[in-house]
Structure 1
Amino acid sequence: MFAIPGSSPVKITPAAERQIARLMTGRNAFGLRIGLKKGGCAGMEYTMDLVETAEPNEEVVEQGAARVLIAPRAQMFLFGTEIDYENGLLESGFRFRNPNVTDACGCGESVRFEPLDGSRTGG
């Protein structure tokens, strides 16, 4: 992964750590896989799946009882991301604070990244 030696490629807040551990325990899962897929009005959407095992080349981040697996194709886009979990009166869920995002849709469900060659992605 695109990481600085001795530091985690993503940060997991205590609230996210508790929620991930709770989900893993409830489903007897190995961890929570995070990835990206094409979709949404901005071009890319985050994916999250509870999984029973790690796939080859996945980055595994462990914090307390929480384990996050980062899909290989998403690694360069997620480097430096903070994963949080927020409880609200109307909605609760995971939030990604990703410094690599260049644009997001109004509903916050999809994001856009500036590609390495400088051309735009998404749309």
Structure 2
Amino acid sequence: MASPSTMCASCLRAARTPAMRAASPLAAAASRSYTAATATPRPLFLDFLAPAMPMRQPHRRPAAIALHPPQPPLRRRLATAASPAPSPSDPQPARAVLHPRTTESGEPMRISLSPRAIHRLYTIAAKDNNPNLALRVAIESGGCHGFQYLMSLIDLGKEPATEEDTLFEGDKGAKVIVDESSLELLNGSTVDYTMELIGSQFKVTGIPGATSSCGCGTSFDIKL
């Protein structure tokens, strides 16, 4: 083995370098600091400091909830004109309350009362305090046009209806009595009450089959 005096300078430096590195901790720290300073900086990940964020779930459309059972498809209805409501001034059919009669075809015979006739009969009955008050209508041959109708107020308590009479009753207890032969001609007509300059009176209008009448309004012709 060669003595230290006989080693060359290069071998001496190579033998001293590991020993110096091991014996000098300051040099090692400085070497690490230099390496850290000269190295490329790396980003710091501090994920453990941030709260964990839940993963977003894909949006799903909620299923529709049927609140009502399915309805059948609506059927189109044809537009039909609604029947007009009856006017208060229109004549009202009276009810046959005693001995109702029918035509040869089986249809019921009827007469109508105008609101003015109903109000007048009700006023007279209330004034006389007589609920049995009735208007009798009868047709006789004669007059200037072959037939004429006659009217009179009667008390059914004193002159009760016979089997040949038909008693009609309208609103407010208004009563009209017609005999059978007269009803065949007056079937479908209207009893009205007129207020004119020459006076106020009950009147029959709309007599079926009547072809003409005179100025007095009580005489008329009928096409039989």
Q: TM-score range by the shorter chain?
A: 0.7 to 0.9
Instruction: Please report the RMSD computed on the Cα atoms of aligned residues, expressed in angstroms.
Output: 2.1
Contact 1:101–1:114 (Cα < 8 Å) also in 2:
yes
Matched residues, number: 113
> What residue in structure 1 maps to residue 34 of structure 2?
none
Higher strand share: 1
- 1:80-95 aligned at under 5 Å gives the runs 80-95=188-203
- 1:59-98 aligned at under 5 Å gives the runs 59-64=166-171, 65-97=173-205, 98=207
> What residue in structure 1 maps to residue 162 of structure 2?
55
- How many Å apart are 1:39 and its aligned residue? 1.9
Residue deviations 1:3-52, cap 9 Å, x none?
A: 635xx701101100111233344383442111111221101111112232
Task: Give the one of 99, 113, 120 matched to 1:19.
Answer: 120
- TM-score, normalised with respect to structure 2: 0.45
Contact 2:150–2:218 (Cα < 8 Å) also in 1:
no
Inter-CA distance 72–24: structure 2 relative to 1 (3 Å threshold): farther
Between the aligned partners of 1:24 and 1:112, the Cα distance in structure 2 is: 33
3-state SS in 1 of match to 2:124: helix
Contact 1:81–1:96 (Cα < 8 Å) also in 2:
yes
Larger radius of gyration: 2
Between the aligned partners of 2:189 and 2:170, the Cα distance in structure 1 is: 15
Between the aligned partners of 1:2 and 1:66, the Cα distance in structure 2 is: 22
40-49 or 101-110, which moves further after superposition?
A: 101-110
Higher helix share: 2
Between the aligned partners of 1:106 and 1:69, the Cα distance in structure 2 is: 25
Runs of 4+ off more than 4 Å: none
> What residue in structure 2 maps to residue 103 of structure 1?
212
3-state SS in 2 of match to 1:22: helix
3-state SS in 2 of match to 1:92: strand
Greater relative contact order (Cα 8 A, min sep 6): structure 1 or 2? 1
Q: Percent identity?
A: 27
**Unaligned 5+ residue runs, structure 2?**
1-100
Contact 1:2–1:79 (Cα < 8 Å) also in 2:
no
3-state SS in 2 of match to 1:60: strand
